[in-house]
A and B are shown apart, each in its own frame.
Chain A
Amino acid sequence: MKKIFLIIAVISAAGFSSCTKKQFADAYPNPSKVSTTTVEKQYAGFLSSDLGYTMYQYWNYFVVMQNTFLPWSQTDALINTPGRYVPGAAAIGTKWSTYYASLAQYKEFVRLYNALSPDDQKAKRIYYISATIYFYDKTQKMVDLFGSIPWSGAGLLGTNKGDYVKSEPKYDDAATIYTTMLDDLKGFSDELNTIQLTPAVTTIINTQDFINHGDITKWEKYCNSLRVRMLTRVSGVASFQSRVSSEIAAIVANPTSYPLVLTNADNIQIKVLDPTTGVSNGSGTGAGASFYTGLIGWGNADRAGKVMIDSMNNNGDPRIRSMFEPGDSAKPAGTYIGLDPSLDNTTGTAIANSGVLARYNRSTLSQNIYIPGMIINAAEVNFLLSEYYLNAGNDASARSAYEAGINQSIQYYYWLRTISNDATNTASLIAPTTAEINAYIASNGVAWENANSTAEKLNRLAIQKWINYNVLEPDECWAEIRRLKLPALNFVADNSGLQSVPPNRWVIPSDEITYNSTNYAAVAANDKLSTKIFWDVK
């Protein structure tokens, strides 16, 4: 019996010494993740959470843009394949999930911010304001695509400590989202005039804010320019009209309090300092550049469309040589030729394959890995102001804003070429001269004074905006085309499916319909490709 007790004692001892509680606790958390964070780190996490869609990268262009915004805006060659006016599920799903993943980071940032002491909140107010401006910018693009979306109640799973039933968000009305954002941005634009940063905050935000490095003036410019963009977007909606005119009037009347992005030096953009970091267009170069592989799509999607190229050719647009390069087999050699969107599939494909078409300049754009991620630029703000002046009956200001916009745009595209380290396009770029720019502005199809009606002026503005946006700001480009119905683009009807012309909006992805079905039911009736966004009133 003694022996037995001995044995049992040995076993017990072995058991207790084998695994301790601490060993179990140590092996529980994932060593590659962290369980706590700070407002500052989460702030940078939020800002960087959708970089693949702000910078110029493969997935956005190949999966999302190639089959949607670009052909529907005729900013690239449109080959008429069956089903071309229905956005793919991959495109829709990607766009949606990226926005909501980013929104979740913003809401988590807000949760952390709200947990700070009132003093800390006050000191770190700049984080809250700047993150919210950026968040609203992204939200505006989503509303422009989908209309009503889950928003105020969205992304609260962390805040609700994992209660997923409680976290299923209701849909907010599209116009209400715009109203809320415009109200808040107005408040921020005043608040930014008085905000003071402590040295500690200044130092840290300089690193964490990779967009403006904590430069309050730049955030003010961004905030006000975004307001102008959003106010212009809703300017056709009766219920918004009075605030649109009064708020833009207030902004332009007081440039000291409400500065705007009016020159390229003010552009709000994400610069590429090191292509191997996460803030970049990817590190692949040449034909392996991320933007290039996405833009060229299945082989011809980086080619030019006829309408845009003709407009640029006819008026001597100096941008043509920085934005485009002629097709290798173009006849006559060196000319810029775009694909006629009215051709059938076989003919269009044959022309594209023959190598006559101009393509987006690889050295300036698609293989320029130093191209900054564009958020809002001087040309577009000038064009928006011009539209405001035009509608306000202030023709002289409208004209000068229009011309300033063209000037900034031309300079901008030339500048893009100068920062490129790509030499694929061997033609050395000649800088646009003032004389050349003036000649373009005075050309028959561009000159403001040659437009003999408000409608024609608006059309010229739209064309300029369209050229300026091209493939670099496809969301804004397509939204403005829908809002203005300008430039007037013709599309061959697609008889092969449910959608014969480009749609008015995107539909909600099926994951959302499936997993948030109760709330979706409220918007289901309007969830059609043909439903217009509330600001689409023309």
Chain B
Amino acid sequence: MKKITQKLLLSTFLCFCAAISFAQQREITGTVKDNNGTPVANASVIVKGTKNGTATNSDGNFTIPVTGSNQVIVVSSVGYKPSQITVGQNGHLVFTLEGGTGAMQEVVVTALGIKQQKRSLGYATTTVSADEITKTAPTNFAAALYGKVPGMRIASAPGGSTSGVAIQLRGISSITGRTQPLIVMDGIPIHDGTFDNTNYWGDQRLRSNGLTDLNPDDIESITVLKGASAAALYGSEATNGVILITTKSAKGKKGFNVDYNSTYFQDRVAYLPQFQNVRGTGFNPGYGIYGSDADGFAHYTLDGTDYRTMVAGSLSFGPVFDGKPILSWDGVVRPYSAQKNNWAALFQHSNNTVNNLAFSNVSENSSTRFSVTQNHYEGTSLGSKNDRVAINLNSTYKFGSKFRLNVIANDIWQKVHNRPYSDDRLINNFSGMMSAFDNGAWYQNKYKTSLGYKYVTGSNQSLTPNENLKFGNHRNDLLDYMWNVKTNNLDEYNNRLIASATAFYDITKGLELRGRISTDWTSGKNESKNSSSIPLVYGYSGSYGIGTNNYAILYGDLLLTYTKNINDDLTLKVMGGYTADKESSYSTSVSTNGGLTTENRFDLTSSANPQYYSGSNRSYITKDAYIGTINANYKNYLFVEGTVRSDRTSTMNPLQNSFIYPSVNGSFVFSDVLKLPAFVNMAKLRGSWGIVGNYPGAYAANVAYNLGNLGNQGSGSSTLISTVTTGQYGNDNIRPEKKHEIEFGLEAGFLNNRVNLDLAYYNNKVVDMILPLQISQSTGAGSILSNVGTLRNYGLEVALNGTAVQRRNFTWETGVNFSFNNNKIEKLTTGSNELIHADYDGNAAVLKSVVGQPVGDFYAHPIKTDSKGQPIVNDYGDGTLDYQLDGSKLVKYGNSQVKAVGGFYNSFSYKSFSLEVYTDFRIGGYVMPTGLNWLTGRGLTKESLNGMDKAHGGLSYYLDSKGYGVQTNGTTGPNGEKVYNDGMLLKGNLPDGTANTHIESSSVYYWYVYNWGGPQYSNSEYFKYIVKNSYWKMREVSLTYNLPLSIAKKIKANKLQVSIFGRNLFYLYRTIKNMDAEQLTAGLQWNSSLTDAGTNFATRTFGASIKASF
């Protein structure tokens, strides 16, 4: 992987050094501005078709010599769309560049929505523009950021638009607290929430986090603040960085405009495990694991005829497909042949549409943009869909010359019907794994009876006993899965309003007051209807439930800014303010108890027990802060900023809930001062230091009792009241996590700004990490909230981009960014030198962090070796053998932290066509996709075919009287024993020290090695499950065609664009072939994305869109 990266870098660089030019005749002057009217410095100005070029100065002005008339002048600057004007007789040309990222003169939105010149910033920021966000119609903005922001790692949970997205900036800054950056939209802190889909028994539907609600079509730009200094003004919750979202406004437009776009795309399940399709269930009959005949089949007599059937079991080392008739579990006699694509019927193709219509109007004293977006998304889980309507209004009004008001409102209405259902049982449970002679379509036929009740097995009571499933070998878990996705309905309705009003008041010259009040308010209800599964005569079944939820953030801030030019060279800006934030959430639910008294009548009045199940939850958080900043600007090339924030939060003990977060940063544009080689247009050094914090969640610090009411238990009228201590012990003395970060960076533009470089080095230390520290149940609680120690993260971020080729009709832009992050546990205060995060499958593997090592090392038991260093072969005494695990030893097999992430993009435009190709990669980070290994252990993957016969390298052997395999070349054993050809030899020594010579069936090998459980339960070799998860993926490809204006005009459009695109298309490289590299994403916590391959499968997307402006 490293090599590939190096090559890419080298070739990219070579391209940059290709074509540069000169020429001359008469002088043309011009000005280059961005669409906010801000001058763009260092923009490249070229006379088309020549090598004649220059760059704009700091006021955006340029002068260029031109020969003759009708020459075309092209202006470009990185991050903006190139613009061109044909030179007439007029002397002065004005260029307005649209779009904008990365340019040095650009104005960047920073903390609290304060706009600053990018050149003045002492910390790293990255801005991504609207265009890049919606090019391939991702269902949420985060999925558009793959590989586009140095230091940012994205992982989308599979399942579709309703699945969550995990974002990590510069590694993890908290071990069990939030690792997701704070999301701020138009200055409003957004409720993002969390999700964790790893607990199948807790919730079988896949949940998501709040950012997926936000409508990508309304986003103008996204700015990512990575370091502590950048985020210090947010104090709390900014340990993981901040994502600032600016929604679209009418700014930069003139008069009345209409934009319309429409997109369709389809998702299909992709990157399934590589299944074998040569054999069904069973096992080598010589071992007698299943009651089978000598060929490995079971038999069933139906209506007097004896049929072959498959044995009932989850091991698929059975007879090879022969195409002859067999009685399947669904009662159909069909040829015994592979059921190719048998997984298809378990999922659906999801069809998605997005339509967006936006109006904008700009007049002298106001500007308004109004947009409506309609989305219809579907999940790949059968019947899952999501409909959404998002309305966005963004208006600015001027009242006189001193007062401005900006009002923004986003309203997102959404309905989710049957959120995707977890695939857990298909991957993580033996009784849900489908064999090669089985088919999702059969489950679609059999999950319910002809009367609509849930399937019945064996001789269990049924109104349709003839339909009972009797012929073994169906997967109950798959039948249940099908029943659940088809007959259990959950509808969720949500309305989310994110709105703000910001008033600006220019009090006197240099003194500005800004006040803002905003809300993020969600109101929702949900309704569940689970069908009656058994007839009323057998009991009540089914359920109905209804619930409501409400979440609100009320936020306000007041900032007073005073700017003063001390002299011609020095400008000072001082700001002071106050912010306050109240969050509240409520939920209530009520559902039937004991089933429905009338089948499939969904209402509480159908409850079998008159006392309904009910529950409620509420939570309040109050936060506030005083903030102050001071900025100094010396000659527009030296900038210093200092900030301080004093925070209070209600989630901490009221006696000690106030904390101070300072930061300083500086920027030095040394290209303005020093004489640098001519090819350097601009160069800037920056540095920053700051502290940010993180608090425990609401109520996590409480030491409390749960109060119970056990009703009247026969003592007259008294009610029995009880208390029990909570299983999670709080801590009234908890301190906030604090991240101290220092950062240095270099930004430079070369070759007329055709090449831009941004480098950043950071080093941070998170002290007093907060953890609900897992402790043994025998202490009296399962966990205790603690400050456990210190974690360090350090790393490097590199972004390099530019225009590789610029010709008359052809432009090639390319860029690469990557970041390396390392972390290390520096200190633990728990009295131990390690922190254990998870224990898997009865101590089969352990995830822990050890002092001096990075977070999250995977440990497992190695194979035991004897005094000669030979692996010990364990002999069960019945002819089966496996390697003896060393139950007393745990060895590290890999670290879960991703070493590097990045992206590589290329954008080509030829005449009216443009092709954009985005790839992203991740290097390192071990995972343990346990369920996929179990598929191998059950004989279901291609890998498990090794040794199955001579063609697959199997040895020939016969079984002696004790069941041991003896290698032979004969066609029968010495006493006429049957010879099998699926043998393997485990090299090593038996416990008595002699070399093992027993041959065993390869099916025994796979079964034992990839089985469940730690050394108490089996010798499963979990160290084989721990594998590196690196990839390089073709993330997005889009091909766009701008229709000629003449055609656009026919529908009165100024611009008409069509494009086709694909997402998640294929891998250029991946280390794990049996899954999508992101399939393990089951939650926002870093450690809920390491082991669970059973939430949903990833998808591949193709689509097309049309965009028009009027």
Q: How far is the CA of A347 from the CA of B620 in the complex (A)?
A: 60
Contact (A97, B708) CB under 8 Å given A7-B507, A157-B784, A349-B312: no
Contact (A4, B578) CB under 8 Å given A45-B724, A210-B720: no
**Across-interface contacts of B784 in A (CB, < 8 A):** 157, 162, 164
The reply to whether the CB of B1013 lies closer than 8 angstroms to some CB of chain A is yes
Contact with A along B62-88 (1 / 0, CB 8 A): 000000000000000000000000000
Q: Assess whether A346 is in contact with B1016, with CB atoms less than 8 Å apart.
A: no
The reply to whether the CB of A286 lies closer than 8 angstroms to some CB of chain B is yes
Within 8 Å by CB of B650, from A27, A279, A347, lies: A27
Q: Assess whether A515 is in contact with B713, with CB atoms less than 8 Å apart.
A: no
The reply to whether the CB of B1068 lies closer than 8 angstroms to some CB of chain A is no
Q: Assess whether B705 is in contact with A346, with CB atoms less than 8 Å apart.
A: no
Q: Which of A178-186, A391-399, A504-512 contacts B (4 or more CB under 8 A)?
A: A504-512
**Across-interface contacts of B721 in A (CB, < 8 A):** 41, 44
Residue of A nearest to B880 (CB): A495
Q: Assess whether B830 is in contact with A100, with CB atoms less than 8 Å apart.
A: no
Find residues 173-214 in chain B having any chain A CB closer than 8 Å to their own CB. none
A7, A497, A512: which has the most chain B beta carbons within 10 Å? Answer: A497
Contact with A along B291-331 (1 / 0, CB 8 A): 11000001010000000000111000000000000000000
Contact (A288, B831) CB under 8 Å given A100-B777, A210-B713: no
Q: Assess whether A28 is in contact with B311, with CB atoms less than 8 Å apart.
A: no
**Across-interface contacts of B312 in A (CB, < 8 A):** 345-346, 349
Q: Which of B131-139, B758-766, B840-848, B900-908 contacts A (4 or more CB under 8 A)?
A: B840-848
Contact (A169, B778) CB under 8 Å given A28-B653, A44-B720, A353-B470: yes
The reply to whether the CB of B472 lies closer than 8 angstroms to some CB of chain A is yes
Residue of A nearest to B1013 (CB): A89
The reply to whether the CB of A138 lies closer than 8 angstroms to some CB of chain B is no
Q: How far is the CA of A200 from the CA of B289 in the complex (A)?
A: 65
The reply to whether the CB of B836 lies closer than 8 angstroms to some CB of chain A is yes
**Across-interface contacts of B701 in A (CB, < 8 A):** 28
A64: min CB distance to chain B, Å: 15
Within 8 Å by CB of B843, from A8, A273, A283, A514, lies: A514
**Across-interface contacts of B781 in A (CB, < 8 A):** 104, 157-158
Within 8 Å by CB of B702, from A33, A162, A298, lies: A33
Within 8 Å by CB of B708, from A28, A48, A101, lies: A48
Q: Which of B235-243, B457-465, B677-685 contacts A (4 or more CB under 8 A)?
A: B457-465
Q: Assess whether A86 is in contact with B507, with CB atoms less than 8 Å apart.
A: no
**Across-interface contacts of A327 in B (CB, < 8 A):** 459
Within 8 Å by CB of B839, from A86, A154, A510, lies: A510
Contact with B along A151-164 (1 / 0, CB 8 A): 00011111100101
The reply to whether the CB of B776 lies closer than 8 angstroms to some CB of chain A is yes
Q: Assess whether B723 is in contact with A42, with CB atoms less than 8 Å apart.
A: yes
Within 8 Å by CB of B842, from A285, A300, A509, lies: A509
Within 8 Å by CB of A288, from B540, B704, B775, B888, lies: B540
**Across-interface contacts of B378 in A (CB, < 8 A):** none
Contact (A29, B560) CB under 8 Å given A169-B779, A285-B608: no
A242: min CB distance to chain B, Å: 33
B964: min CB distance to chain A, Å: 12
Q: Which of B383-391, B621-629, B636-644, B748-756 contacts A (4 or more CB under 8 A)?
A: B621-629
The reply to whether the CB of B1017 lies closer than 8 angstroms to some CB of chain A is yes
**Across-interface contacts of B880 in A (CB, < 8 A):** 495-496
Residue of A nearest to B607 (CB): A283
Q: How far is the CA of A417 from the CA of B1003 in the complex (A)?
A: 50
The reply to whether the CB of B566 lies closer than 8 angstroms to some CB of chain A is no
Within 8 Å by CB of B558, from A14, A155, A285, A514, lies: A14
Q: Assess whether B831 is in contact with A165, with CB atoms less than 8 Å apart.
A: yes
Q: Assess whether B538 is in contact with A516, with CB atoms less than 8 Å apart.
A: no
Q: Which of A18-26, A227-235, A404-412, A438-446 contacts B (4 or more CB under 8 A)?
A: A18-26
Q: Assess whether A498 is in contact with B1018, with CB atoms less than 8 Å apart.
A: yes
**Across-interface contacts of A164 in B (CB, < 8 A):** 729, 773, 775, 779, 784, 786, 830
The reply to whether the CB of A208 lies closer than 8 angstroms to some CB of chain B is yes
Residue of A nearest to B300 (CB): A350
Q: How far is the CA of A413 from the CA of B1074 in the complex (A)?
A: 55
Q: How far is the CA of A284 from the CA of B592 in the complex (A)?
A: 11
**Across-interface contacts of B617 in A (CB, < 8 A):** 32
Find residues 494-538 in chain A having any chain B CB closer than 8 Å to their own CB. 495-498, 500, 507, 509-516, 524, 529
The reply to whether the CB of A433 lies closer than 8 angstroms to some CB of chain B is no
Q: Assess whether B538 is in contact with A86, with CB atoms less than 8 Å apart.
A: no
Contact with A along B1011-1028 (1 / 0, CB 8 A): 101101111000000000
Within 8 Å by CB of B836, from A48, A284, A424, A515, lies: A515
**Across-interface contacts of A513 in B (CB, < 8 A):** 843
Q: Assess whether A45 is in contact with B722, with CB atoms less than 8 Å apart.
A: yes
Q: How far is the CA of A140 from the CA of B652 in the complex (A)?
A: 42
**Across-interface contacts of B620 in A (CB, < 8 A):** 27, 31
Residue of A nearest to B287 (CB): A495
**Across-interface contacts of A309 in B (CB, < 8 A):** none
Q: Assess whether B648 is in contact with A19, with CB atoms less than 8 Å apart.
A: yes
**Across-interface contacts of A500 in B (CB, < 8 A):** 876
Contact (A288, B594) CB under 8 Å given A97-B782, A424-B538, A507-B1016: yes
Residue of B nearest to A22 (CB): B654
Q: How far is the CA of A14 from the CA of B556 in the complex (A)?
A: 11
Within 8 Å by CB of A23, from B458, B540, B650, lies: B650
The reply to whether the CB of A108 lies closer than 8 angstroms to some CB of chain B is yes
Within 8 Å by CB of B705, from A8, A37, A100, A328, lies: A37
B292, B775, B778, B841: which has the most chain A beta carbons within 10 Å? Answer: B778
**Across-interface contacts of A289 in B (CB, < 8 A):** 539
Within 8 Å by CB of B775, from A329, A350, A353, A515, lies: A515
The reply to whether the CB of A125 lies closer than 8 angstroms to some CB of chain B is no
The reply to whether the CB of B129 lies closer than 8 angstroms to some CB of chain A is no
Q: Assess whether A346 is in contact with B292, with CB atoms less than 8 Å apart.
A: yes
The reply to whether the CB of A96 lies closer than 8 angstroms to some CB of chain B is yes
Q: Assess whether A44 is in contact with B1017, with CB atoms less than 8 Å apart.
A: no
Q: Assess whether A274 is in contact with B778, with CB atoms less than 8 Å apart.
A: no
Q: How far is the CA of A511 from the CA of B841 in the complex (A)?
A: 10
**Across-interface contacts of B777 in A (CB, < 8 A):** 96-97, 100-101, 511-512
B886: min CB distance to chain A, Å: 13
**Across-interface contacts of B541 in A (CB, < 8 A):** 287-288
The reply to whether the CB of B971 lies closer than 8 angstroms to some CB of chain A is no
Q: Assess whether A4 is in contact with B511, with CB atoms less than 8 Å apart.
A: yes
B627: min CB distance to chain A, Å: 10
Within 8 Å by CB of A18, from B580, B726, B842, lies: B580
Find residues 859-897 in chain B having any chain A CB closer than 8 Å to their own CB. 876, 878, 880, 888
Find residues 981-1036 in chain B having any chain A CB closer than 8 Å to their own CB. 1011, 1013-1014, 1016-1019
Residue of A nearest to B655 (CB): A25
Contact with A along B784-821 (1 / 0, CB 8 A): 10100000000000000000000000000000000000
The reply to whether the CB of B611 lies closer than 8 angstroms to some CB of chain A is yes
Q: Assess whether A285 is in contact with B539, with CB atoms less than 8 Å apart.
A: yes
Q: How far is the CA of A350 from the CA of B312 in the complex (A)?
A: 10
- Which 6 residue pairs are nearest across A and B when measured between Cβ atoms? A286-B539, A355-B459, A346-B291, A277-B711, A353-B458, A27-B650
Beyond known contacts A89-B842, A299-B457, A510-B1016: 18 more, CB 8 A cutoff: A3-B508, A14-B578, A19-B624, A25-B654, A34-B707, A44-B723, A48-B708, A149-B778, A154-B778, A162-B731, A167-B779, A167-B780, A210-B714, A274-B711, A345-B312, A346-B472, A352-B459, A511-B774
A and B contact pairs by CB, cutoff 8 A, 16 listed? A15-B578, A24-B657, A27-B650, A33-B726, A41-B723, A86-B1016, A103-B778, A105-B724, A155-B780, A156-B779, A157-B775, A157-B780, A162-B784, A207-B720, A354-B459, A495-B878
Interface, chain B (partner A; CB < 8 A): 287-292, 298, 300, 311-313, 431, 457-461, 470, 472, 476, 507-508, 511, 513, 534, 538-541, 556, 558, 560, 562, 576-578, 580, 593-595, 608-609, 611, 617-622, 624, 626, 648-654, 657, 698-699, 701-716, 718-727, 729, 731, 773-782, 784, 786, 830-831, 836, 839, 841-843, 846, 876, 878, 880, 888, 1011, 1013-1014, 1016-1019
